[in-house]
Structure 1
Amino acid sequence: MSTAPANDAAIHSSRDSTLAEIFSPLDFKITSGANRRKISSSLANVSTKDIIGSRAHGKCNQLSIYYYPLSLRKHYRKRHEIILQFRDQPDLTMARHQMVQAVQIKPCKFLVVLNPYGGAKKAKDYLDKVVKPMLFEAEINFEVVTTEHCGHATEIGRNYDTSKFDGICALSGDGTLHEIINGISQRTDGTKIDDVPIGILNGGTANCLVAAILERRGERKCNPNKAIWNATFAFIKGNLNRVDLLMTRYADQELYLCQSLSWGLICDVEFESEWLRVFGSTRYSIYAIKHIMLNKCHQGTISYIPESVSEAPEIFQKYLSNRPKEADFHQGNQTWHTFPGNKFSFVALMVNGFWSLDNVANPFSHLDDGKAYLMVVPKPVSRLSLLKFFLQLESGNHASSPQIQFICVKQVKFNFDKERAFNLDGEKSINNVMEADVRPHSATMIY
C-alpha cells in the first residue's frame, strides 16, 4: 500500500448539504422515519455530514438513508433512518447516484481486530450491536479476526495483507493497537507504520486514544457506554491524519508507543488492578485509593532534552509564563538536563493527553502536535495532594497544582539502581534503564 493520503482524504466524507437540496428535483414521498406532513422540513434537517450511507430497494423503488445526528444534550450519535418512496426506477437510480456523490462513498475493505478480553469484555457485544450494522450501512466491507493470545495482534500487524485491505481497525483497548503498530514496524516488505491507515474503536478499559479522537471532534463528553456510536461514526467519516508516536529503547529492544510511558504510582495502579478488568475503569479508582494511602517513594534519575519554549504550543507557553520554575527546565535547548532530585511519586511521558474517556492527564497534548510531555510528581507530596490530583483529572485542573510539573521534551532517559516496572501503553516491562523520544507524525490514524 502506498503512503496514506493527506489530511483532506477520507473514507466517507460529505459535502455540507441537506437531503432537501439533494432531492429537490425528484418525485418522491417519505414512507417512514419522519413526519410525512412535514417532508421539506424533515429533509432540510438532515445534513449529509451526519449520513453514513444508503441502500436502494429496487423492487419497491425505495431508498433507505442512514444518519447519526449528534445529540447536543447527551453528546452521542443516535441512529435514524428515512425511507423515501420514488415514482419509478429512473428516479430511484438518480437518487442513489446523488447520495453516493454527496456522501462520497468509496469502495474499501478493512480488517477489524477484535480483542474479546479487553476491559469489561464488551467488544464482541459492540461488534454485533453497533459496529457491524453501521459498517453495513456505510457499505464498508470488512473481515473480523479475534485475538487469541498475548502478542497475537503483533502477528496480525506483521502479516497484514496490504493488497487485500485498505487499513486496520482495532475494536479493543489501546494495548491491542500498540501491538498492531509494533507488528507493522517489524515487517520486512518495506511497509512502514504510516503506510497503513489505522482506526480504533473503544473496546478496552481506558480507551485513551478514542478519548483523544472524540475530543478532537468535540464528541468526548458522552456516556462511556454510548461512546462506541461516536467512535464508529468517527471511523466511518474520518479523515486520514498523521499522529505522533513515542519510540522507546531498552534491553536492546525498540518499541513504538501510541499513548504513554509511566512508572511509580500510576504504573502500580494499572497492573495491580488487572484482575478487576471486568469492572472497567472503576478498577483504577479502587487501587488509586490504596496507593494514595501507601504514598510510596520511587527512586530514579530522569535526564531529558527539552523543547525550547518558543517551539512549544501556545497553550503550554502560557502555562510556563505562570510557572517560572518549570520554565527554567526548558533552558539550554538540545542539551541534556537532569531533573533535580531522585525521589518521585510517579512519572509519565505522554504523546496523548488522555488516560481514559473521563480523565484528562495532560491538557496540553494533542495527537499530532509533534510534542511529548513529561509529567512529574516529585517527593515529598502529601496524600491530600495526590487525592486532589485524581479528583481533578476529569477537568484537567490538576495541571495547576504546584506539586505537578510538566516539561515539553524531545528525548528522555530513566535510570534506576535496580530493575523496576514500566507501563508501556498498558504493557508491563521491567528494566533499570529506559530511553524514549518523540516521533512526530509517524502513524496514520482514521478519525
Structure 2
Amino acid sequence: MEPRRAPPDRDIHTSPVTLYGEFTAIGNRKVRYGVSLTEKELIIQRLSSAPVPRNKVLLSLKDCVGSRAYRGEDNTDSAAYFTAYFYPLRKRWMSSGTSRQRVEQGFRLSALQDPGYNLEEAEKWARAVRERSARQQYQRDEVVMSELPRRRMMLLVNPQSGKGQALSLYNSQIQKMLHEADVLHTLVITERQNHARELVRDKLDLAQWDALVIMSGDGLLFEVINGLLERPDWEEAIRMPLAILPGGSGNALAASVHHYSGSTPVSSEELLTSCGFLLCKGLVSRMDLVSVHLISGPRVFSFLSLAWGFVADVDIESEKYRHVGAARFTVGTLVRLASLRVYRGRLAYLPASLDKCKDQPNQTSSLWPASKMYSFSNDNGCPIPEQNSCHSNNSVKVTRSENGLHRNIPQNPPGPQDSLLPPLDQPVPSNWVVVPEEDFVLVLAMYQSHLAEDLLAAPDSALDDGLIHLFYVKAGTSRAALLRLFLAMEKGAHLTTNCQHLVHAKVRALRLEPHSPKGIITVDGEVVEYGPVQAQVHRGLARLITG
C-alpha cells in the first residue's frame, strides 16, 4: 500500500506524522501493522479488530543507527522489505541503571505485484527513517559536533588485548552493528607492539579513510595518536576522526566517552554496545591532547593520563592478572596496598586560574572538515594560526650540561609548540606553583573522566576543556584511608572523602621530578622513561567520535 498521512492521533506523538503505511509482519502475513513516521519517532501499532492492550511501540529516532530496504530470497515473491535498527536505553534486568539494547523492526510491503514498485516504496521508507534520524543529531544543546560522512573506516583490532577476546567481540557484535548502520570498514589485525604506530605514520594514505577506529585497550590508541603526530603532515593527520571500542582490560577512554554521553555506568559488553552505538551515529567532537616531555627522548602525546607511584605501580604490576580482565586492577590494588610504597620528589604546575587564555579554545570554523586550525603557540598559550606552529622547538637532543642535567636542544619536530614549558633543565616560570620536595604515595594527572571502567577519577572533566586534573596523595595516609579513597572513586566521590593527604588542582602544565632512584612512570598506561617529566595540554587538538 502506498504510504499516506495518518489521521491525527495527538495522544501518541508530539510531532506531526509525515509518513504512514500499513504492512504485514516479516514471517507472518496475518499480522498487520500501522506504521507512522514523525520527525522524532517511528510509531508501530498492531492492527486488530479486537482491542489489544499495549499494542503501540514508540521508538525514538535518536536511537536509530540505520535502516535498509531489500528483496526477499524468494525470487517469485514480489514483496519488498524494510528494516530499522535501534539501540534504545532500557532498564537492566535485576539491576539499577540502563543500558542500550538492540531492537530490530522489520516490515513486508506487497501493495502491488510489481516487485520494482514495492522495492521503491521500501527504499522510500528506509531513506526517510535514515534522514530523520540524522536530523536528530543537530537538535542538541551540547558542544558543537558534526556528522561524520559515512564512507570508509579502518578498524584496528589488537587480538591480544584484555582477555584476548577483542576479535571475537568484533565478529559477534561490532561487525553486525556497522552493517546495520551502513558503515563500510576494513579490518586490520595488529601483529606486534607499535604495528599501528608505524602503519599510520609511514604507510597510511589518510585520503582513503574517513575515520580510524581502535578496538583494544587504551594502548593501541596511544600508538595511533603518536603515529599521526609523527607524520610530516601532522596538522592534517591529527584531524582524522578517531573512535574507541573497548576491547582491553582498562578501557578508560571508552568509559569516559560513555560517561560524556550522559548514560548511567556500564561495563564489559554493555560498554561495547554503547560505544558501538556512538560510533554508528558518527558525531565528531574535539579532544584535548597532552604533550609529555621525557628527559632523554622526544616527547610523546597523551590522551588519558600521566601517573607516578601507586597508580602506575598497580597498572603495570597487575599485567600478570590480565586474564581476569578489568578485575586485574582490583587485584593489583589490594596487592600493592599490602606493601605500600612512598616516593620522594618535587612537583610544580601552572594553575588553570593563572592561565590568561584559560577560556579560549583551540578554535576551528567547523569540525568536519576544518577550514582553519589553530594550535597553542604564544607565551600565554593562546592560539595563533597553525602556519606559524610548524617551527616547533620541542624535541630533545641529549647533551650534558654543567649541572649534570640533560638539556633540551630545539630540533623542530612535528607537532604543536609547547609554549608553556621551559627546557627541563631550567627553572619553571614564576607564576607556577611549586610543591616543595615531598614524599608522595601517588601523583596522577588526568584529562578524561575515567581511569578505568569502574574508576571515575575526574568526574567534572570534559573532552575538550583544556584542563589537566592533577591529583596527588602525600605520604602519611593509612592503607585503610587509601582503600576508602579508591572505593569512593568508583562513584566519583573521592574528592568528598575529606582525605587530608589528597590534593586536587586544575592545571594547564606540570613538571614532576622524581628523586627516589627507582619507580614507574606511565603515560596512558604505557611505561615511559623514569626521570624528570613535564607536560602541557593542547586544547581540542584531536578529533574523537563521541555522543
Q: TM-score, normalised by structure 1?
A: 0.86
2:299 is matched by which residue type in structure 1?
Answer: E
Task: Output aligned runs, 1:105-254, within 5 Å.
Answer: 106-158=149-201, 159-250=203-294, 251-254=296-299
Distance 1:62 1:281 in 2: 42
SS at match of 1:288: helix
Q: State the 1:366 CA deviation.
A: 1.6
Q: Please name the residue that 2:389 is paired with.
A: none
Q: State the 1:393 CA deviation.
A: 1.4
CA RMSD of aligned residues (A): 2.7
Q: Does residue 103 of structure 2 align to residue 76 of structure 1?
A: no
User: Deviations along 1:60-86, whole A, 9 cap, x unmatched?
Assistant: 311121111111345221222111122
Distance 2:236 2:87 in 1: 34
1:384 is matched by which residue type in structure 2?
Answer: A
Q: Please name the residue that 1:391 is paired with.
A: 487
Distance 1:259 1:167 in 2: 20
Q: State the 1:172 CA deviation.
A: 0.6
User: Deviations along 1:287-326, whole A, 9 cap, x unmatched?
Assistant: 211221212111111111111179889xxxxxxxxxxxxx
Q: State the 1:166 CA deviation.
A: 0.5
Distance 1:85 1:230 in 2: 29
1:404 is matched by which residue type in structure 2?
Answer: L
Q: Which of 54, 58, 67 is matched with 2:71 structurally? A: 58
- Verify the 8 A CA contact 2:157 2:167 in the aligned structure 1: yes
Q: Please name the residue that 2:385 is paired with.
A: none
1:392 is matched by which residue type in structure 2?
Answer: A
Q: Please name the residue that 2:348 is paired with.
A: 303
Farther off after superposition, 400-409 or 180-189: 400-409
Q: State the 1:32 CA deviation.
A: 6.0
2:104 is matched by which residue type in structure 1?
Answer: E
Distance 2:273 2:469 in 1: 30
Q: Does residue 502 of structure 2 align to residue 420 of structure 1?
A: no
Distance 1:107 1:367 in 2: 23
Distance 2:502 2:489 in 1: 12
Name the CA shift for 1:21/1:271 in 2 (closer, same or farther; >3 Å): same
2:322 is matched by which residue type in structure 1?
Answer: R
User: Deviations along 1:245-304, whole A, 9 cap, x unmatched?
Assistant: 111011231100010000101111111111211111211111211221212111111111
SS at match of 1:343: strand
- Verify the 8 A CA contact 2:23 2:32 in the aligned structure 1: no
* Gaps in structure 1 of 5+ consecutive residues: 1-16, 314-332
Q: Percent identity?
A: 27
2:320 is matched by which residue type in structure 1?
Answer: W
Distance 2:430 2:224 in 1: 32
* Gaps in structure 2 of 5+ consecutive residues: 1-12, 36-42, 46-56, 73-78, 112-117, 135-147, 360-428
Q: Please name the residue that 1:435 is paired with.
A: 534
Q: State the 1:34 CA deviation.
A: 13
Q: Which of 117, 125, 132 is matched with 1:95 structurally? A: 125
Name the CA shift for 1:58/1:355 in 2 (closer, same or farther; >3 Å): same
- Verify the 8 A CA contact 2:254 2:275 in the aligned structure 1: yes
User: Deviations along 1:170-192, whole A, 9 cap, x unmatched?
Assistant: 00111100110000001123554
Distance 2:311 2:452 in 1: 13
1:29 is matched by which residue type in structure 2?
Answer: T
Q: TM-score, normalised by structure 2?
A: 0.71
- Verify the 8 A CA contact 2:152 2:211 in the aligned structure 1: yes
Q: Please name the residue that 1:382 is paired with.
A: 478
Q: State the 1:412 CA deviation.
A: 0.8
Larger Rg: 2
Q: Please name the residue that 1:323 is paired with.
A: none
1:239 is matched by which residue type in structure 2?
Answer: L
Q: Which of 445, 455, 461 is matched with 1:359 structurally? A: 455
SS at match of 1:266: helix
Name the CA shift for 1:267/1:89 in 2 (closer, same or farther; >3 Å): closer
Task: Please identify which structure carries the higher helix content.
Answer: 1
